[in-house]
Amino acid sequence: MNPPETIAGSARHAGPHLGLVAIVFTALKFASLVPVSVFGFAFGIKPPYFPAPTAPANDIVAYFDTHRLPVLICAFLQFGATVPLGIFTATIVSRLHFLGAKAAGVQIALFGGLAVAFDSAASAFVLWAMAQTGITQDASLVRALYYLQSAFGSIGYAVPMGLLLAGVSIPAGLMKLLPKWVVGIGIVVAIISELTWFTMIVPNLGFLVPLTRFPGFVWLIAVGFLLPAMISERIGNPRKIA
């Protein structure tokens, strides 16, 4: 009798369902935005919302002084989202190896995905610290923590996310493991992700971060459901990537 991982003579990769893991990550990440942003409007969350990094210092201090609970909830959900992202990263790298990918891009994807998870966790921890009683009494400390959190949560999220997208999309595209439209979205969003690096010296480029974040959610879910778990499910005649 064949073992359960063998179907019709083709081995199936063992691991959590990538699509479901991506949905859990997206749901938690999106939910973390609800208490502090315009996405919470339908739930009765009213302005002011989470201040932009370019906001006046007084506005930043005032927000964290009067919105401790929403910030705490945001930090809680944001940290929770790092767990499924780490699971997704480890699983997709394992599956690409299983399907025969030998390119360095797979290891780059591993580095990128774990870096996103670690940076997001750091951002959540800084937010948690800012939500503690008494922190807002020191305006300089609030500003320093806020800028640090912003760096972890924007550039620190987007740049390594681009490495994850490119590290999966390019080998998977060459091996015909994913549809062309998924590969194309991955590469385009990866390029935008890397460009967010320049927001460190040109703050007005901050609009690039949501252009990474939200299309990235779509890409993660699409890849989670479309990347084959069996070698026999490859699309077309794959090229071997040595």
Of the candidates 73, 79, 23, 82, the residue with the CA atom closest to the CA atom of residue 43: 73
Instruction: Please confirm whether the linkage preceding 171 is cis (ω < 30° from 0).
Output: no
Whether residue 177 lies inside any domain: the answer is: yes
**Which range (46-55, 192-201, 225-234) has the least confidence?**
225-234
Each residue's pLDDT tens digit, 136-154: 889 899 999 999 999 999 9
Q: With pLDDT > 70 as the criterion, what percentage of the chain qualifies?
A: 91
Each residue's pLDDT tens digit, 113-135: 999 999 999 999 999 999 998 89
- Contact indicator for 167, 173 with CB cutoff of 8 Å: no
| Full domain range(s) for residue 217 | 16-39+52-230
The residue length of the chain stands at 242
Q: Tell me which H or E stretch contains 159.
A: helix 155-174
Each residue's pLDDT tens digit, 73-120: 999 999 999 999 999 999 999 999 999 998 899 999 999 999 999 999
- Return the pLDDT at 242: 37
Whether residue 88 lies inside any domain: the answer is: yes
User: pTM higher than 0.85 for the full model?
Assistant: yes
Whether residue 242 lies inside any domain: the answer is: no
Structure tokens at 149: 């959190």
Greater confidence (97 vs 242) lies with: 97
Domain count, the chain: 1
Whether residue 237 lies inside any domain: the answer is: no
Whether residue 218 lies inside any domain: the answer is: yes
Q: What is the mean pLDDT of the chain?
A: 89
Q: With pLDDT > 90 as the criterion, what percentage of the chain qualifies?
A: 72
Give the integer Cα–Cα distance in Å for 117 and 79.
9
Q: How far is CA 1 from CA 6, 9, 11, in A?
A: 10, 12, 14
**pLDDT at residue 2 is higher than 70:** no
| pLDDT confidence tier of residue 42, bands split at 50, 70 and 90 | confident
Whether residue 239 lies inside any domain: the answer is: no
Q: Which residues pair with 219 in a beta bridge?
A: none
- Return the pLDDT at 236: 53
Whether residue 200 lies inside any domain: the answer is: yes
